[in-house]
């Protein structure tokens, strides 16, 4: 699916970063950041432009190709891995931040993947998270152009986020209606969960 989505010359979700991610990453001093499900790299490349050392991964070779092209266009470097996160390994306590932007993992794996990501973050590190919440089903049923999973168990609730990141100090946690204008697959009003947390240990 993702190779098919990313194979076109245009960028499926645009070249500009997600607004919430940009707003939050600009508050932090650059370090090392892990970007799961980074797709065509709009967020990872933006972090690199701010001076971050970026490691991205996704399932799609096409996504990697588009990311490297965008990074070259912006004169930055992104280290990009292709593969299923279940089989990818990174060094524990390596990253200063993790950017989880519309990283909708399979329902039976998403909590396990969040715990795995927790291992890669340094104590004191920051998670920046934005993804569609369970209320979003009412939005994408009316307007498919806004995108997002159509299965409730792939969407998020605030209680799930609290449970998955229970060793974090919550800096921000909210459910918001947003107007998305990201490429051709995130267009219109939707409902998102936003979370920023600092890892305690």
Rounded to the nearest integer, the mean pLDDT of the chain is 95
Residue 120 has pLDDT above 90, yes or no: yes
pTM to 2 decimal places: 0.96
Q: What's the full length of the chain, in residues? A: 201
Q: What is the torsion angle, in degrees rounded to the nearest 10, for the CA atoms of residue 141, residue 142, residue 148 and residue 150?
A: 0
pLDDT in tens, 136-151: 999 999 999 999 999 9
Domains annotated for the chain, with CATH where assigned, are: 2-199 (3.40.50.150)
- Structure-derived torsion over alpha carbons of residues 42, 46, 48, 49, reported in degrees to the nearest 10: 140
pLDDT digits 0-9 by tens, 165-182: 999 999 999 999 999 999
pLDDT tier for residue 5 given thresholds of 50, 70 and 90: confident
Give the per-residue pLDDT at 199. 98
Instruction: Map residue 6 onto helix, strand or coil.
Output: helix
Start-to-end CA distance of the chain, whole Å, equals 37
Please give the pLDDT value at position 168. 98
Measured CA to CA, the distance from residue 89 to residue 105 in angstroms comes to: 16
């Amino acid at each position: 699916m993702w190779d098919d989505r990313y194979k076109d010359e245009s960028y499926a979700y645009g070249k500009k970063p997600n607004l919430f991610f940009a707003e939050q990453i600009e508050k932090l001093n650059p370090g090392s950041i892990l970007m799961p499900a980074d797709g065509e790299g709009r967020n990872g490349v933006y972090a690199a432009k701010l001076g971050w050392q970026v490691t991205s991964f996704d399932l799609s070779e096409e996504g990697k190709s588009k990311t490297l092209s965008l990074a070259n266009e912006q004169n930055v470097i992104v280290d990009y891995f292709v593969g299923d996160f279940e089989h990818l390994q990174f060094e524990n306590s390596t990253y200063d931040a993790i950017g989880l932007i519309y990283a909708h993992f399979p329902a039976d794996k998403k909590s396990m993947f969040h715990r795995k990501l927790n291992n890669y973050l340094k104590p004191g590190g920051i998670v920046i998270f934005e993804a569609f919440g369970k209320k979003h089903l009412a939005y994408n049923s009316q307007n498919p152009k806004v995108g997002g999973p159509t299965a409730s168990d792939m969407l998020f609730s605030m209680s799930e986020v609290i449970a998955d990141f229970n060793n974090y100090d919550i800096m921000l946690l909210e459910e918001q209606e947003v107007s998305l204008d990201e490429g051709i697959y995130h267009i219109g009003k939707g409902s998102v969960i936003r979370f920023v947390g600092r890892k305690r240990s």
